[in-house]
Amino acid sequence: MSGGAGVYGEAGAGPDNPPVVVLISADPRTSHRANEALRIGLGITAGDNEVCFVLTGPAAHLLDGDTDDLVDGDDIARFRANVKELGVPFHVEKTAIPDDPDWNAEGHEVIPVTHERIAELVRQGRRFLVF
Amino acid sequence: MDLAKKKLGLLLSTGLEHPNLETAVGLSEAALARGADLYLYLIDDGVRALGDPRVRALAGRGARLFVCAYGCQKRRIPLEDADTVTYCGLVVLTDLINGTDRFIALN
């Protein structure tokens, strides 16, 4: 357990804690914020927290096979590879998954989810980061 | 509700032009006025809020002010040698997420 901010108290972390939900709807084709959200979520995951990534709408393009057309595409490729190494799945809004056969060419674990399921995931979280 | 010594974490990731800044400043001032411990983390475009005098003044009132060093680097914002600002990475943000009583992200 790290203590860089010196704030540990009654709400301390632990493996039994509910996840931090990182919900991304920013479009990585037009905004750097989708990549930033991925980076932040990855950083939180590295701190021994369970993180639940939820991609809605155009954020599903974070898993595009070709990252050349994405803002900060090289970073996205690197960060999502790290997410894959950690075995953290992406919950992706079912209706937002692109038809492109090259989508998720790297074979990241993807869990297609409905709007109702996304609402459940959010209810189960203890902290929320929405981009 | 007694907020004295309660820990409030605030994350701000938007820039000076975004209304989130007003929200962050307002929440911060209210929390400090009620005796809460305030931890403000500026990230992404939020690092530019360091240029807002109201944000600077929060540190003088007891807030802990953290700024994403990576975000500053990407925007070529020079790091200051200031006692009131801590440049840091996501480990500290994780600490805030885990260790505060309430955590609000303004994205």
Give phi and psi for B95, each to the nearest 5: -60, -40
Residues 6+ apart with CB under 8 A from A45: A51, A83, A86, A88
Sequence letter at residue A64:
D
Q: What is the pLDDT of residues A20-55, one digit of tens each?
A: 999 999 999 999 999 999 999 999 998 779 999 999
The CATH code belonging to domain B7-106 is: 3.40.1260.10
Q: Give me the mean pLDDT over the A51-69 stretch.
A: 97
pLDDT at A1 over 90: no
Residue B28, min C-alpha distance to chain A (Å)? 17
Q: How far apart are CA B39 and CA B63, in angstroms?
A: 6
ipTM confidence: 0.92
Q: Note the pLDDT of residue B81.
A: 79
Q: Note the pLDDT of residue B1.
A: 72
Q: Note the pLDDT of residue A6.
A: 54
Q: How far apart are CA A27 and CA A120, in angstroms?
A: 23
pTM for the model stands at: 0.91
Supply the mean pLDDT for chain B: 95
Q: What is the pLDDT of residues B40-74, one digit of tens each?
A: 999 999 999 999 999 999 999 999 999 999 999 99
Taking the CA atoms of residue B64, residue A51, residue A75 and residue A1 in that order, the dihedral angle to the nearest 10 degrees is: 50
Band (pLDDT 50/70/90 cuts) for residue A10 is very low
Q: What percent of chain A has pLDDT over 70?
A: 88
Give the mutation candidate from A36, A39, A54, A122 for the B interface (greatest B CB count, under 10 A). A36
Q: Which residues of chain B lie closer than 8 angstroms to A41, CB-CB?
A: none
Candidate from A4, A7, A37 with C-beta closest to B100: A7
Token pair of A113 as six digits: 């989810």
Token pair of B31 as six digits: 């929390």
Q: Give me the mean pLDDT over the A5-24 stretch.
A: 66
Q: How far apart are CA A87 and CA B83, in angstroms?
A: 39
Band (pLDDT 50/70/90 cuts) for residue A13 is very low
CB contact under 8 Å between B95 and A5, yes or no, is yes
Q: Phi/psi class of residue B96: alpha, beta or left (left: φ > 0; alpha: ψ in -120 to 50)?
A: alpha
Supply the mean pLDDT for chain A: 90
Q: Give me the mean pLDDT over the A104-129 stretch.
A: 96
Q: Note the pLDDT of residue A12.
A: 39
Q: Note the pLDDT of residue A11.
A: 41
